[in-house]
Structures are given as C-alpha cells and as structure tokens.
Structure 1
Amino acid sequence: MKNDISGEDRLDRVIESVKPPGDREYIENNLTRFLHILRHLGVRISSAEAVDAVNALAAVNMLDRRQVETAFLATLAKSPEDRVILDRAFQAYFVTPEEKAERTAKQRQKREQEAREIQAVQDELKYELEDAENGESKEVSVPLTEEEKKIYTRLPEDKKSRLRDYLKKQFQGNTVNNPEQLIASMVKSSLNYWKYYLKYHGDGPPAVDYTGDEGTDEILREVVEKLRDEEQLLYQDIQNIAEADMPTATALITKLSRKLATRISRRYHRSKKRQRLDLRRTIRYNIRYGGTMFSLRYKTKKVQKPKILLICDVSGSMAKYAGFVLQFMYGLSSVTEEIESFIFSEKVERVTAEFGKPLPFEITMTELINRSEDWGRGTDFNHALAEIASQYKGLLNKETFVIIVSDTKTINVEKASLRLQDLKKKVKDIIWLNTLPKKLWLDTTSVLVFRRYCHMFECNTLAHLDKIMRSEILK
C-alpha cells in the first residue's frame, strides 16, 4: 500500500514539472483518465510506468500528436498487442469536441440499432406450440438473456437459418407437455459454443471491463469496435473481403509483413552472438598492439537469409488470394536473400522484375494484371513446373524455399505430382499454401496426391498466412 501511495505522489510531482501550475490539473486529469481506459482494455500499467510516461512527455513537443503517442508507446506498451490497443485508444481519446460529439451521436444510433436487432431476435424465435391433449396452440419464445441475443445477431446468416429451422421442427413436432426448457437449454448450449467460437476466431470483442461512466465507456466501445473490425478482416476468407474493406486489409497485410520482417532481421543479427574464440583472427587483429590481447575475436555461425521462390496460381478462383500473398511476400524483400516470383494458370510467367520497380505495390499489381495473358484463366500446374525446371534450373538449390499458392485444382494431376516430387529433391523445402478449406481435403484427390511431396497448410485468411510464414520461415 505504501509503495502505491509513494508512486502516486511521485506521479503528481512529475506532472507538476511538465507544465505551469495552471495547466497541471488539465494534464493530470487527462493522463489519469487515459491510463484508466488502457487498464480497462487489459493493458497492465504500474505507477512506475505512469511516471515514465510523464517523464517522456516532458521531453517531447506536447502539441505534436505523433510525438506524444510515441512517448506513450515507448513507456506503456510491453507487447505488439499492447501497441495496437494503445494506438486505437489514443486515436479515440484525444479528439476534438466536434469529433467527440459526432462519436456520441454515432454510438447512440448504434445502440438504437442494436435494440432493434435484439427485439427482432425476440420476434424471430417465437413459435406455435401445439398442446397434445386438447389440440390448442399457444405462442412461445425461447427465453434468452440479452448477451445470448447479441451473440445470435452476430451469427452468420446460414447458422441463424439452421437454428431457426431446428427450433421450428422441435416446437411443431414435439409431443412433450412442456418442451420449452429442454429446447431452450439446447439453444443456449449452441449459443455458448458460438460465443467462444466467435471470440477465438476473431469476431468477438476483446474482454473489456466497462466502467459505468458514459463518456469513458463510449471510448472503450469505439476501441473495441475498431479492433473487432480489424480482427474480422484478419480471420475472414480473403475471397470474401469486400471492395470497401480493401484499403484496411491492405494496410493490415503491410503491418503483418513488416512485423515478420523485423523478426527475421533480429534473428539474423542475433546469430552474430559470440560463441567460440577465434584465435587466428584475435592474434592478427592484436598485432597492432604488440601482441597484447586487447580485443578478442570470436567465431560466429551465420544464419543465412532465406531465399524464396514463389509460385502463385492466378486462375479465376485464385487471383485474389495470389494478390495478397504477393504483397505479403514483398513486404519481406528487405530481409530475404532474394524473392523469385512466378505466376501461372495455363502458362507460367516470371514476374520478379515487375516488383523491382520503384512503384507502389498497388500500381505494380494493376500493371501486372493488365499486361498478363494468364491472369484469371484455367490451371495447368504441370506445365508451370516443367517450364520452371527447364528454363530456371539455376534458381533451384538447397538454400531455396519454394512457396506454392494454389487450391490444387489443375489438369494433369498425376504428371504434376511427379514434377513436384522431382522439385522436392532440388530445394530446401516446399511449402504449399492451400486456399481450399481443410475439411474438404480428404474429398479432394489432388490434395491427397500433392501433399505427399510438400508441407501443405490451409491458407485462406490473412491470419493463416501470417502464422504459416512465422512458423516455417523462422524455424
């Protein structure tokens, strides 16, 4: 308890030193409330870290938003997740009065919309129950809590339809005198499953401890909604990302690739740690000091930057996936030895040079799609592998990762599998990013044939792509 009190006292003293006394209360209230919001969003902040944040503010221009946010990020965020939450909270909290009024109006409209949706749930889940004894019928509804109704509103439409059909069948065909509780229990169990499914598959909000204060909770709700929107894109099938969401998805994939690039770079530099004394280099280096060993030299084991050969299927069903994977991989170009890229459908094209141009990725992709004769056609994987093996054999060696992006649907499956088997012998590893949902693999002959000669992963979301690249390129 004493430590907490002294920590708060120290925080007060530091705040006093940042601005003149007239501004002290304003800064203290805003900082305290901002820290309060971060804590309710799950960011752990001690009194000592709060003091560090204030000290950092004293060293920056308080009128520069970027400098202020950087000071907070440097002192309060302890993980990538904390950085994301802090950034969204900063953008939501430090706003103009006009922006605040606009947010309040939007959230009021949203609450009214949610109330209408919840009422609609109540109406949707009403059914006629026939009395087995006297043949009369009565209207009954499934007794759900407010939280369960909210979960129902977030279900995919096909899941809602299946649940409604199930309830209709149960109420109309059930001869039990009072089946409501039995059916309600089953529905609640189903919604409980969906509650955890949505949470762990990106459609559920972060766990937030709301305060009861309307102004603070407005900010918390805005942060949660922003994070939920980003999470939905992260776990949504790339093929289903709407055109309106493409800028957000593009920014998200850029962020993911930069994060992975940073990890690869750090891993590469860490490989230069001192291991064993290199006596020969030590003697040679210290001749300048008359042989006295002032500076020691050590043997190091360098981890080679990965070489990547990317083969993307750009047939009609695969074009959108290929665009995202190409963007992700070229975000890693600064920390890989080289990235050789090929696209194929009926023919194969080497497109490495296209991405070496000093142009934004979006412009490069647009030019490539407009120029390419293969984009959006049928699929001949066998021809693509044969062309690469004969025309570009110098690219295939034991230092190269081959990454294939395809749903495996191609003509000449058996011939292509023999080509893939031969390719496996020439390279370090083959990683196949399969956009086909994994539940369909056992029923798809081409998947069963190709996966014998590669490491095949389900990859139809940005989350899949990020996870696979982390686990395979960094191992």
Structure 2
Amino acid sequence: MPAHTPLDIPDDPKLAQNIIHFARALRSAGLPVGPGRVIDAIRAVEAAGFTERRDFYWTLHACFVNRPEHRIVFAQIFRLYWRDPRFLEHMMSMLLPAIRGVQEEQKANAAEKRAAEALLQGVEQGLPDPVPEETGSEIEIDASLTMSAEERLRTLDFEQMSTEEVARAKRMLARLELPVKPLKSRRTRIDLQGHRVAWRRTMRNSMRQGGEIYDIALKKRQQRWPNLVVLCDISGSMSQYSRVILHFLHAVSNAKGADWAKVHAFTFGTRLTNITRHLRHRDVDAALAAAGAEAQDWEGGTRIGSCLHTFNRDWSRRVMGQGAVVLLITDGLDRDDPVALEKEIERLHLSARRLIWLNPLLRWDGFAPKAQGIRTMLPHVDSFRAGHSIASLEDLADVISRPEDVGEKARLLQLIAE
C-alpha cells in the first residue's frame, strides 16, 4: 500500500474554502474562532495531512477548541458539516434535510440545536422560495389550547435553549421587574395622617403659645427599601445559567423607579469579584463585557466556602446593612472544606434579612441533596427555589414578598434527616 503524503492546501482550494466555512459555522455557534485560528487550521492540515477522517477531526479540534464545554458543539458541527467535503454546494444540498431533521426533534440537545442553526445561518438565504402548492380547500386549526411560543420559552430550561431562543429570553428578561415591599424604619416623621402622638413637637408648639396645647402633632414610622445583594456562581457547571441571569440582574439594576435602595452584584468561582459598577452601564452588552473582563474565573472551578469567607470579611458590613435581601445563585457543587463552608454560610444567613438560594439542579424531578455542599448549605437558607427558566425568575417577586415561603427546603431537609 503506497504511503500517504500530506495534503497540499494551495493545490486544493475547495478544501481550504470548506475549512473557512466550517470556521464560520463554529463562530455562529458561539466558539471564539477568529481569522488567526482559521489560518492556523489551514496550515495545520497542510503540515500534518490526514489519512483518515479521525486525523482530520483532531487536527481541526486542536486549532478551534480550547475549552471543555466547546467540545460537544465542535463534534456536532463536524459530524454534520463534513459528510461530503467534495465541494460546498453539493455538501449543503445534502446537509440541509439532515439539519432540519435535527431541529425538528423535540428532545434535541442544546449542542445539536446550536450546531444546526450555525450551519443554516446564511445558507437558506440563498435558496429559492418554495413554490406555493394549490390547495382545494382551506383548513382551519383551533389553536386555542396550544402553548404559545412565548409561554413555552418561559418554562424552557436555559441550558436547553438554542441561540435564537437565548436571544429572545434575554429580551424577555430585560422587561422583568423585581418589586419588593418597603420596610418600616424605626425613625418617624411628622404626618397629619399619623397614628402616634409626637410629644416633643406638641410641647415645643405649646411653649410658643404660653403653654397652651391647641394642636397635637402626629407622626408615623418612615418607610425604606432594602438592598439587594446577588452572589452568582460563574463556574463551568453554571456558565450557561449565569450568563442569562446576569442579563436579568442588569435589568433590575437599571430599572426606572426601582424599589431597591441599591443592587450589589458579585460573581464567584475560584475567587470573588464585585461587578456592581459594571452593571450600571445602560448598554447591557457593554456592561456584561466589562463584567466578564473583571471576573477572571469564568467557567472555572468552584470554591464556595472561600468566596463566602471573602465576602463576609471584606463586603458584608458595606452592603448588608439595614436588612439586605441576598440571592445566592449556585448549584452547590463545592469541593471546599464543609466545616468552613457551613461557618461562612451561617454567618451570611445571620447578616441577611432573607437568604434565598436559586439552584438550577432543582429543575429535575426527584432531586435529592446528595452533594456535600448542598447538604451543608441547605439548613442555613430561608428559601430554596429553582433558577433554571424565565418562569422561575418571575416567581422571585412572590418569594421575596412572602417570608414564610421556603420552597423545597422542608422536603429536602427531611430527606437529609432520613
């Protein structure tokens, strides 16, 4: 059998062109693929060559994939794209029916959906419009009982959303509000509709009138709004959820006439990062880009205990005054010392007016607190709720307004006791 020589890319321009289009599909699916990586991929294939499909796969994989979460998307796009690498037009004509089939599957995973959309983007624009078929009669469909697209999107898991659905979800989250009931302060102010007598003001007025009391001054307690403190996990297991939830936090931070006194946002993975000032930018893209540049531990590991220790030591007294409500957004998968974690979560609970834990893992039926981090933190939160969809974030307003709402905490604590 004759030996195979490396493929000469300049003599095979169609393969180089296909690699360029393949890189565009990867970029549309969310992979950070720039012109430099495309050139490196072409040179790598030219230098290494390939004798079989597997060699070609791993050559491109080494050039385009640098994060573990990108492997699935890359594998799906490669499987769909390189079915017929002879030339682009014939390949796309064979590929489109297969991609549509993937998109129409109700249980298709998010990687397949993003891969299919990335390949279809810009391809169907050049296809001719289908010729309408002549129909003999008009069929009417009663869709009164069907779920609308917006209603379906409200209950859809963030991790299962396609690229288009994520964009629509972000627009819906930008319209959400998170109202809160005001708190009664110990301080009072003079008010004609008050229910308590302001004796000092009454006596002061009587001294101006020779000691006679003609009017009784009334007062009532002032109202104030609490602070909202958000601790959002941005580790690898939470990356898809945290990116969408940060859009929601940006909307809450910049809402007109917001009820919250101040909104403080922190991200944590292997270290704690304060992104409060970045979320104050009106433009959501600029705000999240600045927050991403500030937080250097995106999609990394998780050290909840040490991050809570940093927050309690450096930030608790600054942002937790006057009855702050704390939202802890994490899956609880932590490898820190459970004793230290319990100490820090207990201190956070004692400092907060209410500590609400949003956990995306609660979306699963029959969820059980098997992880050590979840078992450690659960007794020290006021409410344990799911945080995997738009509907779960909409329920936050009721959860904050009802101190007796504990979510799934009671049931899970019973499981731990058993």
Aligned residue among 426, 430, 434 for 2:351: 426
Residue by residue over 1:202-244, the C-alpha shift from the partner in whole angstroms, topping out at 9 and shown as x without a partner, is xxxxxxxxxxxx99x78x95x987x711111111112222211
1:331 aligned partner? 251
1:462 aligned partner? 390
Residue by residue over 1:377-428, the C-alpha shift from the partner in whole angstroms, topping out at 9 and shown as x without a partner, is 1111111011112222423446122211000011115021221112222222
Answering whether residue 363 of structure 2 is matched by residue 440 of structure 1, we say no
1:276 aligned partner? 195
The amino acid of 1:442's aligned partner reads: P
Matches within 5 A, 1:127-276: 228-257=148-177, 260-261=178-179, 264=181, 274-276=193-195
Residue by residue over 1:235-276, the C-alpha shift from the partner in whole angstroms, topping out at 9 and shown as x without a partner, is 11122222112332122212222xx33x658999xxx99450
Task: State the shift of 1:313 in Å.
Answer: 0.3
Q: Secondary structure at the match of 2:229?
A: strand
Matches within 5 A, 1:281-430: 281=201, 298-333=218-253, 334-357=258-281, 359-395=282-318, 396-397=320-321, 399-414=323-338, 415-430=340-355
Identity in percent: 16
CA contact (8 A) 1:398 1:426 kept: no
Distance 2:367 2:381 in 1: 18
Distance 1:409 1:274 in 2: 52
Task: Count how many residue pairs are aligned between Structure 1 and Structure 2.
Answer: 255
Q: Which runs of 5+ in 2 are unaligned?
A: 1-103, 110-137, 186-190, 404-418
Residue by residue over 1:339-398, the C-alpha shift from the partner in whole angstroms, topping out at 9 and shown as x without a partner, is 2211011111111111223x3123211232244311111111111011112222423446
Distance 1:291 1:297 in 2: 10
CA contact (8 A) 1:313 1:344 kept: yes
Residue by residue over 1:65-106, the C-alpha shift from the partner in whole angstroms, topping out at 9 and shown as x without a partner, is xxxxxxxxxxxxxxxxxxxxxxxxxxxxxxxxxxxxxxxxxx
TM-score when scaled to structure 2? 0.52
Task: State the shift of 1:291 in Å.
Answer: 8.1
CA contact (8 A) 2:280 2:287 kept: no
Distance 1:273 1:459 in 2: 45
Matches within 5 A, 1:42-53: none
Distance 1:324 1:275, change over 3 A: farther
Answering whether residue 373 of structure 2 is matched by residue 451 of structure 1, we say no
Which of the two has greater helix per residue?
Answer: 1
Distance 1:331 1:297 in 2: 42
Distance 1:240 1:283 in 2: 68
CA contact (8 A) 1:306 1:473 kept: no
Distance 1:412 1:340 in 2: 25
Residue by residue over 1:125-161, the C-alpha shift from the partner in whole angstroms, topping out at 9 and shown as x without a partner, is xxxxxxxxxxxxxxxxxxxxxxxxxxxx997579xxx
Distance 2:251 2:205 in 1: 39
Distance 1:285 1:229 in 2: 65
Distance 1:446 1:302, change over 3 A: same
Distance 1:273 1:378, change over 3 A: farther
CA contact (8 A) 1:397 1:428 kept: no
Distance 1:267 1:363 in 2: 37
Distance 1:328 1:274, change over 3 A: farther
